[in-house]
């Protein structure tokens, strides 16, 4: 790993960070502050790509202003012509960046700096660095129960014992490009992690704190689109597990 600075030599960067945003004008500046302050304390080269996914507020303008006032920081903005969704932005951004490792940071500033430091500081320790919530502030009991149920279902159908699937893992960027998930909503992270584990990827799990932030009306994760995504993910996992067992039985 090399010193913390924008890449000037043409060598591959250590880390690409993608920040997908949809109407995050209230949070994006604090998110960028948290990420850049964390990276300033770590010995890695990096880049940040903010994806404005069809925002109708001032998200893009705030990012552009941030870039103008912090020209020394390796931050770029990409604007989708229309809303493409969280998973699509995540996969597309892997092809627009150049780091060896790749990580999504949500634009709502939900991760405390200590969580970012623990996760990003573990870069390179395994093919996948999987964070899970050691404590979470502000999440209603129903949402906690729903999250636990989802994790249990993914583990049951996949045969793995991962503590949490939606904590935005660090991946090798090549793996995201090669095995990018087909899910269009909530389930895409579990689909990618289980697929990579099927392929023999190594992993570690990191406990981190988290702050739950309720979304604006109409943007909650509890909707028919995400339920369909979860169903698609579970079906994909079951099919892959059956295929894996069939081929193993033939050896």
- 78-136 confidence digits (pLDDT tens): 999 999 988 999 999 999 999 999 999 999 998 989 999 999 999 999 999 999 988 66
**Comparing 25-29, 72-76, 203-207, 215-219, which segment has the lowest mean pLDDT?**
215-219
Q: Is residue 2 part of a domain?
A: no
What CATH number should be reported for the domain holding residue 142? 3.90.550.10
Q: Is residue 3 part of a domain?
A: no
pLDDT number for residue 212: 58
Q: Is residue 63 part of a domain?
A: yes
Q: Is residue 4 part of a domain?
A: no
Q: How confident is the model at residue 224 (pLDDT cuts 50, 70, 90)?
A: confident
User: Could you give the count of Cα atoms lying within 13 Å of 90 in the half-sphere of its Cβ?
Assistant: 27
pLDDT number for residue 221: 58
Q: How confident is the model at residue 9 (pLDDT cuts 50, 70, 90)?
A: very low
Among residues of the chain, what percentage have pLDDT more than 70?
Answer: 87
Nearest to 113 by CA among 221, 224, 181, 208: 208
pLDDT number for residue 217: 52
Give the CA-trace dihedral at 92, 61, 34, 180, to 10 degrees.
-10
**Comparing 9-13, 33-37, 48-52, 238-242, which segment has the lowest mean pLDDT?**
9-13
pLDDT of 222 over the 70 cut: no
Q: Is residue 99 part of a domain?
A: yes
pLDDT of 163 over the 60 cut: yes
The structure tokens listed for 70 are: 């912090």
The model's pTM: 0.88
Q: Are 45 and 1 in contact (CB under 8 A)?
A: yes
Q: Is residue 5 part of a domain?
A: no
Q: Is residue 125 part of a domain?
A: yes
pLDDT number for residue 4: 42
The secondary structure of the chain as a DSSP string is ---SS---SSPPEEEEEEEEESS-TTTHHHHHHHHHHHHHTSS--EEEEEEE-S-SSSHHHHHHHHHHH-TTS-EEEEE-SS---HHHHHHHHHTT--EEEEEE--TT--S-HHHHHHHHTTTTSSSEEEEEEEEEES--HHHHHHHHHHHHHHHHHH----S-S-S--EEEHHHHHHH-----STTHHHHHHHHHHHTT--EEEEEEEEE--PPPTT--S-SHHHHHHHHHHHHHHHHHHHHHHHHHHH-
Q: Are 158 and 189 in contact (CB under 8 A)?
A: no
Mean pLDDT of the chain: 88
pLDDT of 33 over the 90 cut: yes
Domain count, the chain: 1
Q: Is residue 208 part of a domain?
A: yes
Q: Who wins on pLDDT, 2 or 216?
A: 216
For 154, the domain range is 13-250
pLDDT of 161 over the 90 cut: yes
Q: Who wins on pLDDT, 210 or 43?
A: 43
Q: How far apart are CA 209 and CA 55, in angstroms?
A: 28
């Amino acid at each position: 790993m090399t010193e913390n600075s924008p890449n000037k030599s043409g060598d591959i960067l250590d880390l690409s960070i993608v920040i997908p945003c949809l109407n995050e004008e209230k949070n994006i500046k604090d998110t960028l502050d948290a990420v850049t302050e964390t990276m300033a304390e770590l010995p890695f080269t990096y880049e940040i790509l903010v994806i404005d996914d069809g925002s109708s507020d001032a998200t893009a303008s705030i990012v552009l202003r941030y870039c103008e006032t912090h020209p020394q920081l390796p931050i770029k903005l990409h604007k989708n012509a229309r809303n493409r969704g969280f998973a699509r932005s995540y996969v597309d951004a892997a092809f627009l960046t150049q780091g060896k490792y790749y990580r999504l940071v949500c634009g709502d500033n939900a991760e405390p700096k200590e969580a970012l430091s623990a996760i990003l500081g573990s870069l390179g320790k395994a093919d996948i660095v999987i964070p899970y919530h050691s404590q979470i502030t502000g999440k209603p009991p129903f949402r906690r129960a729903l999250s636990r149920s989802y994790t249990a279902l993914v583990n049951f159908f996949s045969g793995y014992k991962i503590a949490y699937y939606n904590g935005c893992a660090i991946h090798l960027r090549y793996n995201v490009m090669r095995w990018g998930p087909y899910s269009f909503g909530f389930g895409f992270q579990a689909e990618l992690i289980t697929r990579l584990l099927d392929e023999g990827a190594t992993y570690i799990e990191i406990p981190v704190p988290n702050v739950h932030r309720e979304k604006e009306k109409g943007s909650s994760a509890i909707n028919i689109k995400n339920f369909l995504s979860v169903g698609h993910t579970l079906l994909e996992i079951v099919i892959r597990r059956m295929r894996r067992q069939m081929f193993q039985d033939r050896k």
